[in-house]
Structure 1
Amino acid sequence: MALDDETVPLLSADEQDEQDQHGQPGPLAASISSTTTTDTEQPKAVMMKLDSTHMNDPKAAVEVSAGEIGEQARLATNTEHSLSFADAISLYRHAAFWAIFFCLGQMMTAFDPQVMGNLIAMPAFQHDFGYLFNGEYIISAPWQTGLMMGGPIGQVVGSLSAGYPLERWGRKKTLGVCVLGTIGCVFIQFFSQALPVLIVGELLAGLVLGFYAVITPAYASEVCPVALRGILTANINLFIVIGQLLANGVCAGTQSLNSRLAYKIPFALQWLWPAVILLGLPFAPESPWWLVRQGKLAQANKALRKLISAKADVEPTLAMVVKTNRIEVEMEAGSTYRDIFNKINRRRTEIATGVYTVQVFSGIYLIGYGTYFFEQAGLPSDKAFDMAVGFLAVGLFGTCLSWVLLIYLGRRIIYNVGLCILIALLLIIGLLDCVPHLIDYPGVIWTQSSLLIIWNFFYNLTIGPVGFTILCEISATRVRGKTIAFATAVQAFVGIGMTIAVPYMINPDQANLRGKMGFFFGGLTLVCLFWAYFRIPETKGRTYEELDIMFERNIPTKEFRTYRLET
């Protein structure tokens, strides 16, 4: 929306999009220069500057110039750059809490598929749903595929469907509806007595989980300052690992039961997290970025006051949000699925989708089949479950250590070095499996299992959490929800392929590759490393406004870290 000297009313997000299609957007450079000139040199604009004495009246406002907005936004940008991690925690502790609270939804996206992956290796489940093969009950590869594919298929549909309600009704209301959906889906899983019914339950659950996978990163990236953004978005990976660890721990505790409770208890525990979310959700503030896009600046101001310490001034932060939104309108960033592929957003969509999909190509699906992998490698069932719990505990430790790396190191170097380490570990696992007659060398079996645990540690130290950080930071704010939704759908679609392939590669009645799967995932990860080196820029320490400018100017990948913006 071009700004001129005439005073115009503040437009809603839909009205701004409509005017963008008919008006002449001003150059981005003019928008940026407005932050450094005086008020008399500014074109006039209108924003809702909220007075603390009128907080209960959303319509209470005074007109201010674009120069004042720019000056306030510049103050907020400088403040964010100067904040230390300790200061940011002190000022934004409420924002950190609510970002973590929303991660409970992401934990459910990990718990459900991890439980299903464990059930395939659970004797009671195998007995009730499997068939005899060489004197033992197993779940056939086709049924394994069906059980494990319900989630990814549902997530493709769910994540793509999340974009509209997320922007229409906001992050908070959408999360509430999803939680109610989860409660219903768990009923189907808990009471199912046949594989087809269970697959339907997994499919519907996956659809709802696809919403969580979009809501959590969108919200976490919009409520925290630059100093905390890396850790709080990487926190998403922490809750995924926690969900997987809880699933493995519960299954390890129930797998010795000789009744249906062995697999019904893990299903029933999925009712716990929706209850916790429903209790806390009424008190959660909505995303101020979403409120600004809706033209609800009074509510955005109120939300910021809930997120930021009372001793901090929220007006500069609100001005920065307003100014960033205005810049993206002028850049014609848009707000639809079609807009994530336009010229200004195409590169950002590619990077967001790439970093998320690399997680699948690098071998993340081995985590879901961890227990089964250990069994097929030659470990006894009880030892395999114990190893799977330790496997994820190490991953949890790695994710926590990633916070230190994110404070001191850039996203790009952590991601690329992480890929190099994963490639080396996967290839060694594959080579060890080439030793003939592994049964005669039990030490090799334990070595392979230990290397897979080390692989999980480095995955969760590097590309696991950092991938979520880049995913959240890289997209334009006006299309963030839809960019994350598209990236999630692509990752889930690739996951469908892996869900089909992995059982056939690992099952004893099929390819029976065991550790040789390291060659498969190691080769894919090598290709990912080449892409990441040339395409993933450094986003550490950059505000969303700065990232908008740098992508608009098409700054080369390697220059992002050192590029200086005029202030």
Structure 2
Amino acid sequence: MGRFSIDFKSNKWAIIYCGVSTFGALCYGYDQIYYTGLLGMRPFINDYGTSTDSDGNNALTTSFISLTASIIYVGELLGALMAAPINDRWGRKAVFYCASACIVAGAIVQLTAHGIEGLIILGRILIGLGIGQFTVTSLLYIGEVAPVSIRGPALMMFQFMQSCSQLVGSGITQGTEAIPNKNSFLIPMGLLILLPGLMVLSLPFTPESPTWYIMKRRIPQAEAALKKINRSTPAYDPAHDLDALNEAVRQEELSNAESSWASLIKDPIERRKLLYSCGAMVAQQINGIQFFYSYGVVFAQSIGIKEAFTISLITNVLQVIAVAISVLLGNKISRRKNLWVCSWGIFGALLVVGGLGTKRAFPTGISTAIVVFSYIVIVCFNFSLGPLAFTIASEMAVGRNRNKIMSCSIVTFFFTVWVIAFTSPYLYYSANLGPMLCFVYAGTTTITLAYIWFCVGETKGRTQQELERFFTDKIPVRQWKDHQFEDIPMIEEEKVAKLEVLSAQVERV
């Protein structure tokens, strides 16, 4: 964190409050990984398996694997949609309470399922509802609470925390996998309650978003929240921030008067923004990365890897390292170049895995090679598309329809993830593709490459006003890096950043 030049002493309490909201990232990452471990545990298979394998042992059906692994994304989609009205009426903390309750309820339902598939599905949906609310609101809260000097690193660290919890989840499932009874899967299930539980205990001491207070014209509460957030800053005076927030609210109200859903289709400028923002979400997931996360353990087992849980653990270690390096170098590497090079890396690695899968027999050398090239996919993704896609989607959603464009992007994200997670087992098992499934994902990765080439411009260091002008002036994305707007006056950098961030905060409400 030292490379971000963060003044920890002056921003101590703001960092602590942002840390509370990252429990949402921890829940997201942990749930994404622990369930794939459960699918490879013999006690879990014995409880929920309704078919048999070639050795006569209990086995999970393809439909069970597909439905229970993917249904959570339906819950996340619904949770993301639920978050908007709750955020608007009752505030960020209300969403945190609601999301925590959904996850705890879902975990309890799973713990009491006792081999009943319907209860597992219900539990997964409830957990998804909570994670969807967290996904929207945790980043929103960080953006509204973190001072300008730490806001960028704080937002980027959200994905890093998610990756860390995935590593922890992988380690837990590896540790419990050898337990010969139901505790092998009940322990990881039960530990899911811990994270939202800790958040609920922390929320009474955590301030509400001052931006939300301003939106509700509750000025005294906004002032109190700002003082609490910035109490480690010597001689802090909230007057300037209050004035800036009020001005951002006024500008947002003027902008909302011109906003409409119809313009997203009829207006070619707004349509281009919608395509670029939603396209980032499709480009991130269409390469099949969810297959490696949702089915990593069973994939490793299917190609004869005996230490499948160790392979999953190594995968998550590599992910954490890749995301951490990406965060540190985020402002030093061209986004367009990063995405372009790494996506070609993903494409090539997927082709190799698919080619190795044509052997249909997996001696140690072949299965090891498949794992190594799968690691290349993971590293390339987490260095580029993983951290950057959400940033690009947000940056492309500029102007009067920002809220609507971002809503469409979130829906697009969860829908794409669900499609990949739901269809993967059928393609892998029922269609008998096995690792050759990666040929399919290599093909869909060409969509990612096309998106990067035609829709991703260099946005690093650009103001919201410049991004809007790229669209209104119809500047090709390949010219964004060097294009200069002579009629946009130079404004004090800190003031520009402050006003843009405050405006973005209000637009997300």
The normalised TM-score by structure 2 is 0.84
Instruction: Say whether residues 1:422 and 2:350 are aligned partners.
Output: no
Corresponding residue for 2:286?
A: 361
Structure 1 contact 150–200 (Cα < 8 Å) conserved: no
**Aligned residue runs from structure 1 range 119-268, under 5 A:** 119-130=38-49, 131-135=51-55, 136-193=57-114, 194-224=116-146, 228-268=150-190
Corresponding residue for 2:493?
A: none
Corresponding residue for 2:461?
A: 541
Structure 1 contact 401–461 (Cα < 8 Å) conserved: yes
Which whole-Å CA distance do the structure 2 matches of 1:127 and 1:294 have between them? 54
- Structure 2 residue ranges without an equivalent (≥5): 491-509
Structure 2 CA distance for partners of 1:163 and 1:337, relative to 1, 3 Å? farther
Structure 2 CA distance for partners of 1:247 and 1:543, relative to 1, 3 Å? same
Corresponding residue for 1:100?
A: 19
Corresponding residue for 1:54?
A: none
Instruction: Say whether residues 1:310 and 2:255 are aligned partners.
Output: no
1:403 to 304, 309, 327: 327
How far does residue 159 in structure 1 lie from its aligned partner after superposition? 1.4
CA distances 1:16-70 after superposition (whole Å, capped 9, x unpaired): xxxxxxxxxxxxxxxxxxxxxxxxxxxxxxxxxxxxxxxxxxxxxxxxxxxxxxx
CA distances 1:496-529 after superposition (whole Å, capped 9, x unpaired): 222221111223xx23323222221122122112
Corresponding residue for 1:516?
A: 436
**Aligned residue runs from structure 1 range 325-344, under 5 A:** 325-332=249-256, 343=267
How far does residue 241 in structure 1 lie from its aligned partner after superposition? 1.8
Q: Match for 1:430: what amino acid? A: G
Corresponding residue for 2:445?
A: 525
CA distances 1:188-243 after superposition (whole Å, capped 9, x unpaired): 01110111211111122212221111112222333345664443222222232223
Q: How many residues matched? A: 478
Which whole-Å CA distance do the structure 1 matches of 2:258 and 2:79 have between them? 22
Which whole-Å CA distance do the structure 1 matches of 2:135 and 2:435 have between them? 30
In structure 2, the residue corresponding to 1:444 is in which secondary structure? Answer: helix
Which whole-Å CA distance do the structure 1 matches of 2:262 and 2:202 have between them? 35
Structure 2 contact 399–468 (Cα < 8 Å) conserved: no
In structure 2, the residue corresponding to 1:257 is in which secondary structure? Answer: coil
Structure 2 CA distance for partners of 1:86 and 1:561, relative to 1, 3 Å? same
Instruction: Say whether residues 1:112 and 2:31 are aligned partners.
Output: yes
Structure 2 contact 43–184 (Cα < 8 Å) conserved: yes
Q: Match for 2:454: what amino acid? A: F
Corresponding residue for 1:3?
A: none
How far does residue 449 in structure 1 lie from its aligned partner after superposition? 0.2
Structure 2 contact 284–448 (Cα < 8 Å) conserved: no
Which whole-Å CA distance do the structure 2 matches of 1:206 and 1:550 have between them? 37
Corresponding residue for 1:378?
A: 304
CA distances 1:231-285 after superposition (whole Å, capped 9, x unpaired): 3222222232223222221111111122111111111001101121012212323
Which whole-Å CA distance do the structure 2 matches of 1:208 and 1:355 have between them? 24
Q: Match for 1:377: what amino acid? A: I
Which whole-Å CA distance do the structure 1 matches of 2:473 and 2:241 have between them? 24
**Aligned residue runs from structure 1 range 442-453, under 5 A:** 442-453=364-375
Corresponding residue for 2:500?
A: none
Structure 2 CA distance for partners of 1:109 and 1:500, relative to 1, 3 Å? same
Structure 1 contact 399–461 (Cα < 8 Å) conserved: yes
Structure 1 contact 340–349 (Cα < 8 Å) conserved: yes
How far does residue 484 in structure 1 lie from its aligned partner after superposition? 4.2
Q: Match for 1:272: what amino acid? A: L
How far does residue 101 in structure 1 lie from its aligned partner after superposition? 2.5
Give the root-mean-square deviation of aligned CA atoms: 2.9
Which whole-Å CA distance do the structure 2 matches of 1:96 and 1:348 have between them? 33
Corresponding residue for 2:314?
A: 390
In structure 1, the residue corresponding to 2:193 is in which secondary structure? Answer: helix
Corresponding residue for 1:41?
A: none
Q: Match for 1:146: what amino acid? A: L
Higher Rg? 1
How far does residue 446 in structure 1 lie from its aligned partner after superposition? 0.5
Structure 2 CA distance for partners of 1:428 and 1:92, relative to 1, 3 Å? farther
Which whole-Å CA distance do the structure 1 matches of 2:203 and 2:16 have between them? 12
Instruction: Say whether residues 1:557 and 2:482 are aligned partners.
Output: no
CA distances 1:333-381 after superposition (whole Å, capped 9, x unpaired): 768877877857544443332222322212221212111111112212x
In structure 1, the residue corresponding to 2:5 is in which secondary structure? Answer: helix
Which whole-Å CA distance do the structure 1 matches of 2:489 and 2:227 have between them? 30
Structure 2 contact 286–447 (Cα < 8 Å) conserved: no
In structure 1, the residue corresponding to 2:331 is in which secondary structure? Answer: helix
CA distances 1:420-449 after superposition (whole Å, capped 9, x unpaired): 222222222222323x3543x421210110
Q: Match for 1:212: what amino acid? A: F
Q: Mean Cα displacement is larger for which, 454-463 or 543-552?
A: 543-552
Which whole-Å CA distance do the structure 1 matches of 2:228 and 2:265 have between them? 35
How far does residue 100 in structure 1 lie from its aligned partner after superposition? 3.3
Structure 1 contact 324–545 (Cα < 8 Å) conserved: no
Corresponding residue for 1:60?
A: none
Structure 2 contact 227–238 (Cα < 8 Å) conserved: yes
Q: Match for 2:376: what amino acid? A: I
How far does residue 321 in structure 1 lie from its aligned partner after superposition? 3.9
Instruction: Say whether residues 1:494 and 2:413 are aligned partners.
Output: no
